[in-house]
């Protein structure tokens, strides 16, 4: 009986010894598990990096779209300002074209005042109105063109006749018949002038 019990205990203890006798198999399983974990972690890292690259690409696309939108808005605002300025200038020129004939009549009236009436209070009042009107035009950016002694410029002046004169150089404005006006760099109308021409030379008679 004692011998049978001892054999039974040995048989029960034998699997434990067998399991303890294979330490290499357990180590191999641990290495394989670690490799699987490392591989999964590597795949997860690659996925995260790919997502970061895609997110960065989207951010760059959005920033580029924002920059283009901002540039388009700036160009649109500049174009609108230019159109508004052009519209305002065109309206001012149209109004001045209606006003200029009145100014011409006013200038002719002042130029026809007799010398003995220049100091008359009524005449002085007209001169005061003329000065105030000139000041208002200056403030609006309106500049008068054409003066005797200037050189003729076809962009600014309109020659209505040539006057042969040896007293002034050819191409010099002798007289301003009608003043010209500019608004900024826009010509409202050119000045009508009389320009000195080259004097004709008369040759000696042939004997």
pLDDT tens, 116-165?
Answer: 888 888 888 888 988 898 888 889 889 999 899 899 999 999 999 988 87
Q: What percent of the chain has pLDDT over 70?
A: 74
In the prediction, which pLDDT does 158 show? 94
Domain ranges of the chain: 1-103, 143-199
pLDDT digits (tens, 9 = 90+) for 161-187: 988 876 788 889 999 999 999 998 899
Q: What is the pTM of this model?
A: 0.59
The answer regarding whether domain 143-199 maps to CATH 3.90.1170.50 reads: no
Taking the C-alpha atoms of residue 181 and residue 99, their distance in angstroms, rounded to an integer, is 12
pLDDT digits (tens, 9 = 90+) for 70-105: 899 999 999 999 899 889 888 989 999 998 998 888
């Amino acid at each position: 009986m004692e011998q049978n019990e001892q054999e039974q205990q040995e048989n029960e203890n034998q699997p434990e010894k067998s399991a303890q006798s294979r330490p290499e198999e357990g180590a191999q399983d641990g290495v394989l598990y670690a490799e699987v974990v490392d591989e999964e972690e590597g795949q997860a890292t690659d996925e995260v990096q790919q997502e970061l690259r895609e997110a960065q690409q989207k951010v760059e696309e959005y920033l580029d779209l924002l920059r283009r939108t901002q540039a388009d808005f700036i160009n649109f605002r500049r174009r609108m300002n230019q159109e508004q300025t052009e519209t305002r200038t065109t309206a001012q020129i149209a109004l001045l074209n209606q006003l200029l004939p009145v100014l011409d009549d006013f200038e002719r009236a002042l130029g026809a005042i007799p010398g003995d009436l220049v100091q008359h209070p009524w005449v002085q009042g007209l001169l005061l109105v003329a000065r105030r009107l000139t000041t208002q035009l200056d403030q609006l950016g309106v500049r008068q063109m054409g003066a005797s002694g200037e050189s003729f410029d076809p962009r600014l002046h309109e020659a209505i006749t040539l006057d042969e004169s040896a007293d002034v150089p050819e191409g010099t404005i002798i007289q301003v018949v009608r003043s010209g006006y500019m608004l900024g760099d826009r010509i409202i109308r050119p000045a009508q002038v009389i320009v000195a021409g080259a004097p004709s030379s008369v040759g000696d008679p042939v004997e």
